[in-house]
Amino acid sequence: MTITQLKYALAIAEHKNFTKAAEKCFVTQPTLSTQIQKLEDELDVVIFDRGKKPIELTEVGRKIVYQARNIVNEADRIQDIVDQQKGFIGGEFKLGIIPTIMPTLLPMFLNNFIKKYPKIKLKIEELTTEEIMTRINDGHLDAAIAATPLESDNIKERPLYYEPFVAYVPNNHRLRELKTLEVSDLDIEDMLLLEDGHCFREGVINLCKTYKAHEEDHFQLESGSIETLIKLSNEGMGMTLLPYLHTLDINEGFSANLKHFKEPSPAREVSLIYHKSELKMQIIDALHNVISGVIRGAIAFSNVEIISPLAK
């Protein structure tokens, strides 16, 4: 049994196809098939049910793949230990970022980071919080940037910044004439929300305390894009809440639509998260330092209170 054979097995389990798994592993399909057959012969079991389309794991195969993932992850960390000992900051690093953070935060730090750490090869994906949690636990992500707390025993959280909520209130809205808002002013019934699966949506609902079912004749719209919510709000469809960094790109003509909350403002905690057994700490430290430094000038940290932390 070899680490290479276990990596091949993991690739097949992930892609449910020998050809795709071979492409992922940069080997020919016959080479991959031969090594999997040798592994099955050595263990005297069948790991994959080749008669199913797509290919499925057998009952014992699921147990083997689960253990193989742990073995491969631990083997990969040997190089991490050596890198830390040598003080080397480089290599591949897989980072996930949730959709309501990616478009505003990434342009603020990415160029600075890759110039400062040219030996790090960042692989960045936009993922939901649920996808991030799964991939971190499966070893497919080294770290992620997400709204916290997440309350997971396997995940460590290092806060980067606290980002206030800002209301976007169009003309003719009941809150338009108020200079500043209080959380008690919000009503979920006249608010545009992100669709299910976005943690920012959950934070808005939590701020409003209750989420009552809409009447059949009540207009309701949920979108996957904050930009879409802004455009619909401009059309008089309702108000919405924005993360503070999104307000920095608002057209000057619509800046009057932004309404801040009375201090202490409700805010979300944004953190760098990673598995408790993660060893690429030199890269995590580098990310944390660069992002914290860049963001410090964009957000005033004083008088910001997390009234409704975003999770899930």
pLDDT at position 298, please? 67
Whether 291 is covered by a domain: the verdict is yes
For 238-292, write each residue's pLDDT tens digit: 788 888 888 888 887 788 888 888 887 788 889 999 999 888 889 999 999 999 8
Q: Which of 131-140, 180-189, 262-271 has the lowest mean pLDDT?
A: 180-189
Q: E-assigned strands of the chain? A: 48-49, 56-57, 91-97, 120-126, 143-148, 155-168, 180-181, 193-194, 222-223, 240-243, 258-261, 265-275, 304-305
Summary mean pLDDT of the chain: 83
The confidence band for 140, taking pLDDT boundaries of 50, 70 and 90, is confident
Residues forming beta bridges with residue 166, ordered by sequence position: 242
Q: What domain range is 118 assigned to? A: 89-160+268-303
Asked whether residue 190 carries a pLDDT value surpassing 50, the answer given is: yes
Residues forming beta bridges with residue 147, ordered by sequence position: 270
| CATH number of residue 248's parent domain | 3.40.190.10
CA 170, CA 172: separation in Å to the nearest integer? 7
Q: Which of 36-50, 69-83, 156-170 has the lowest mean pLDDT?
A: 69-83
174 and 237 share a domain?
yes
DSSP string, 120-144: EEEEEEE--HHHHHHHHHHTS-SEE
250 and 288 share a domain?
no
Whether 40 is covered by a domain: the verdict is yes
Query: Which are the contacts of 35, defined by CB distance < 8 A and separation ≥ 6?
Result: 2, 4, 5, 8
Whether 66 is covered by a domain: the verdict is yes
218 and 100 share a domain?
no
Number of domains comprising the chain = 3
pLDDT at position 214, please? 44
135 and 205 share a domain?
no
The confidence band for 184, taking pLDDT boundaries of 50, 70 and 90, is confident
Sign of CA dihedral 99, 104, 105, 107: positive
pLDDT at position 306, please? 42
104 and 72 share a domain?
no
For 116-129, write each residue's pLDDT tens digit: 999 999 999 999 89
For 202-233, write each residue's pLDDT tens digit: 666 565 654 444 444 444 444 457 788 888 88
Query: Which are the contacts of 161, defined by CB distance < 8 A and separation ≥ 6?
Result: 270, 291, 292, 295, 296, 299, 301
Asked whether residue 309 carries a pLDDT value surpassing 50, the answer given is: no
pTM for the full predicted model: 0.74
| CATH number of residue 56's parent domain | 1.10.10.10
154 and 170 share a domain?
no
pLDDT at position 157, please? 95
pLDDT at position 16, please? 93
For 8-43, write each residue's pLDDT tens digit: 999 999 899 999 999 989 999 999 999 999 999 999
277 and 147 share a domain?
yes
How much of the chain exceeds pLDDT 70, in percent?
Answer: 85
Whether 309 is covered by a domain: the verdict is no
